[in-house]
């Protein structure tokens, strides 16, 4: 991806929850190289990308550890996925009836970033 990560609340689905299982390792535990600023401070957070892995962006509040991240092609999902505490962000299925929760996959990192922001912000429609 070129350009910066642009969180856009409209890009996030309206109802979010976290996958029941946790366990995807945090990016900082994977030797990703040197962090590079991907976007300026946005709503109190900063996005970083990494020199050894362009398919991961990490979301930090201040100088602390990553609170969430977006990753490309997680577990065979074709696109960008939002993760919080090692758990994939899920949305209600398609259609007005909702359906079973399924992973929210986006074409662009900034869209998955918006989902991460929405999940971490604890939108009123978000269940964890």
List the domain boundaries for the chain.
9-127
Q: With a cut of 70, list the residues of the chain below it in pLDDT.
A: 1-12, 40-43, 62-63, 93-98, 123-128
Residue 125: the pLDDT is 42
Q: Check: CB of residue 110 under 8 Å from CB of residue 8.
A: yes
Phi-psi label, residue 96: left if phi above 0, alpha if psi -120 to 50, beta otherwise:
alpha
Q: What is the 3-state secondary structure (H, E, C) of 40-103?
A: EEECCEEEEEECCEEEEEEEECCCCCEEEEEEECHHHCCCEEEEECCEEEEECCCCCCCCCCEE
> 22-41 pLDDT, tens per residue?
778 878 778 888 888 887 66
Euclidean distance between CA atoms 55 and 53, whole angstroms? 5
- Tokens in use for 128? 């964890």
pTM: 0.77
Per-residue b/e over 73-97, b at no fewer than 16 CB within 10 Å? ebeeeebbbbbbeebbbbbbeeeee
């Amino acid at each position: 991806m070129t350009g910066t990560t642009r969180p856009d609340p409209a890009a996030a689905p309206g109802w979010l929850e976290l996958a029941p299982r946790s366990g995807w390792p945090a990016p900082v535990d994977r030797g990703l190289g040197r962090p590079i600023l991907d976007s300026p401070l946005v709503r109190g957070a900063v996005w970083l990308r990494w020199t050894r892995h362009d398919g991961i962006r990490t979301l930090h509040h201040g100088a602390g550890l990553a609170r969430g991240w977006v990753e490309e092609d997680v577990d065979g999902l074709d696109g960008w996925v939002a993760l919080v505490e090692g758990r994939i962000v899920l949305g209600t299925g398609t259609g007005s009836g909702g359906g079973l929760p399924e992973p929210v996959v986006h074409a662009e990192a900034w869209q998955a970033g918006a989902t991460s922001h929405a999940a971490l912000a604890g939108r009123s429609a978000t269940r964890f």
